[in-house]
Amino acid sequence: MNETMEMKLRDVADYVDTLKLEGKDQEVKRSYLIHTLHKAQEIIGYLPVEVQKLIAKKLGLHASEVYGVVSFYNYFTMKPKGLYPINLCLGTACYVRGSGPLYEELKKLLGVEEGEVTSDGIFSLHAVRCLGACGLAPVLMIGEKVHGRLKKEDLPRILEEYRQLAKTQNV
């Protein structure tokens, strides 16, 4: 395990401590599991086995129970994501306005399949169900920014924007 990961694990541990769950009922502790996993994924970017074990210990659960929850919910991932994860909406409103072909085009442009990270580490591709921005269909979300009313021709420009952004951040 490298140093940054150790640091991040410590951050997660510190966060769980701020919840002041010591001595509380087991069922109350457990009710903070999904909440804690969200926080951990925010800190680390994904949920490696190490952090699942750590959270299990802190909340008085077996590691398999934590894994059961992580693997059940789509929002949680055990694989690292790219610097800018691309979430393309394949919800109904976007689908009937042509997000299917956009998804194929993105796969081609990025050279990755669902859930994979590009070789330069900048992007990862994820199909999601409805971002609730149906008025702008079809949409994709990069970070917290929604790009709407997309056409195939827009994609290279958007990707380039983020590649440049990645450069300025020295990644």
Which of 2, 74, 168, 169 contacts other proteins by CB under 8 A? 74
Question: Binding to other proteins (CB under 8 A): which residues in 18-47?
Answer: 27, 30-35, 37-38
Helix axes 49-59, 63-72, angle to 10 degrees: 120
Name the strand (E) or helix (H) holding 81: none
Rounded least distance, CB 17 to other proteins, Å: 18
Rounded least distance, CB 49 to other proteins, Å: 18
Question: Binding to other proteins (CB under 8 A): which residues in 98-127?
Answer: none
* C-beta closer to other proteins: residue 134 or 158: 134
Which of 130, 158, 165, 166 contacts other proteins by CB under 8 A? 130
- List helix spans (H) across 60-117: 63-72, 92-96, 99-110
Q: Which distant-in-sequence residues (6+ apart) come within 8 Å of 152 by Cβ?
A: 101, 102, 105
Residue 62 touches other proteins, criterion: CB under 8 A = no
Q: What is the radius of gyration, based on Cα positions, of the chain?
A: 18
Residue 145 touches other proteins, criterion: CB under 8 A = yes
Q: How far apart are CA 150 and CA 108, in angstroms?
A: 16
Q: How far apart are CA 78 and CA 53, in angstroms?
A: 13
Q: How far apart are CA 113 and CA 104, in angstroms?
A: 9
Q: Of the listed pieces 1-9, 14-22, 142-150, 156-164, which binds other proteins according to CB under 8 A?
A: 142-150
Residue 161 touches other proteins, criterion: CB under 8 A = no
Q: Are 69 and 37 in contact (CB under 8 A)?
A: yes
Binding site for other proteins (CB under 8 A): 27, 30-35, 37-38, 59, 68-69, 72-76, 91-93, 95-97, 128-137, 139, 144-148
